[in-house]
Amino acid sequence: MIFTLSRSVVAIALLLAVGSVSAHDPVFSPGPHVLYKGGVEVHVGTDRQKAGRAQQGDLALELTYGLTGDWAAGIGLPYQQVDSGSARRDGVGDALVFSKYRFWREDGLGVQESAAVLVNVMLDTGDDSTRPALGSGTTDTLLGLTYGYESLKWYRWSSIRYRHNGENSDGLRRGGKWLVDFALGYRPTMPVYLNPDTVWILELNGERGLRARRNGSDVANSGGTEWFVSPGIFWTLRNVAIKAGVQLPVASELNGNQAKSDYRTRLEFEWHL
């Protein structure tokens, strides 16, 4: 019994140690983890996506601050490169202000479960005066709810989000979008404090876009549904983390004449201060 109790205490200590170094969240969807109070996270990420002839690459810098042990907020600024197939532009895109609040957490023997709400506000700071545009021309808001289960070996995450888009000066309102995510993580070897740690991740990401509207009328070539299977990896060493993954489309039902997604990739670097 003493041996079993000792193993449980060690398991909890290892879990808390690993979790305090870097939050383990999926690559393409949000998790419930937040920074510790007074903590600072420097985040650099690059995304790339291709749909038909159109391609886009983003390089984003984000800074996050832990307001409390359960509440974090931050800002982000992307540099974009957009290629419509016939024209190409690059420059600063729409700035981002975001916040996450963890409203529930429960710890067990080697297990932690938690849930959080989040809000992202995409500001109208990019240049949308030419085509392809670098900005949306609107201020948009994303609200979300996320849940996570974390043990020494397995992870489970799920989330649901909704993005509400504003109306631009031409009377165009891009359709809102629902995003649903399920993810599973697996750690092949037991974590050792201050040693490198690897978690393999597999996600299922779904997107349901509503039709856009221009001056009160539906836009035919807009909206629809896409599903992606997304393998990825989360690697940490002390207060540094690297996440990488690729989204591969497995189902697509888009309205009208729209190019289906070919792939999306993501690479992120995080540094906790």
C-alpha distances (whole Å) from 145 to each of 15, 74, 176 are 24, 18, 17
Calculated CA dihedral for residues 75, 70, 12, 156, nearest 10 degrees: -70
CA 8-10-15 angle, 5° bins: 95
CA–CA gap between residue 253 and residue 255 (Å, rounded): 7
The strand pairing partners of 233, in sequence order, are 200, 244
C-alpha separations of 226 from 132, 244, 259, 260 in Å:
23, 21, 11, 8
Instruction: State how beta strands 240-254 and 224-237 pair.
Output: antiparallel
Alpha-carbon dihedral of residues 109, 116, 60, 204, nearest 10 degrees?
70
pLDDT of residue 122: 97
| Domain ranges, ordered by start, for the chain | 2-272
Rounded to the nearest 5 degrees, what angle is found at the Cα of 183, between the Cα atoms of 179 and 186? 165
Amino acid (one-letter) located at 171: G
Q: Are 171 and 214 in contact (CB under 8 A)?
A: yes
Encoded tokens for 272: 């906790």
Q: State the pLDDT at residue 23.
A: 61
Residue 3 backbone dihedrals phi, psi, to 5 degrees = -65, -45
8 A C-beta contact, residue 193 and residue 214:
no
Tell me the backbone φ, ψ of residue 17, rounded to 5 degrees. Answer: -65, -50
Instruction: Note if the pTM is more than 0.85.
Output: yes
The Cα angle at residue 244 between residues 15 and 182, in degrees rounded to 5: 65
d(CA 220, CA 151): 46
Give the pLDDT score at 17.
41
Class of domain 2-272 as given by CATH: mainly beta
Q: Mean pLDDT, 10 residues at a time, over the chain (273 residues)?
A: 42 43 81 96 98 96 97 97 93 97 95 97 92 92 98 96 95 96 96 90 98 94 97 95 98 96 98 93
Look-up: residue for tokens 């109306």?
Answer: 167
Looking at residue 127, what is its pLDDT? 87
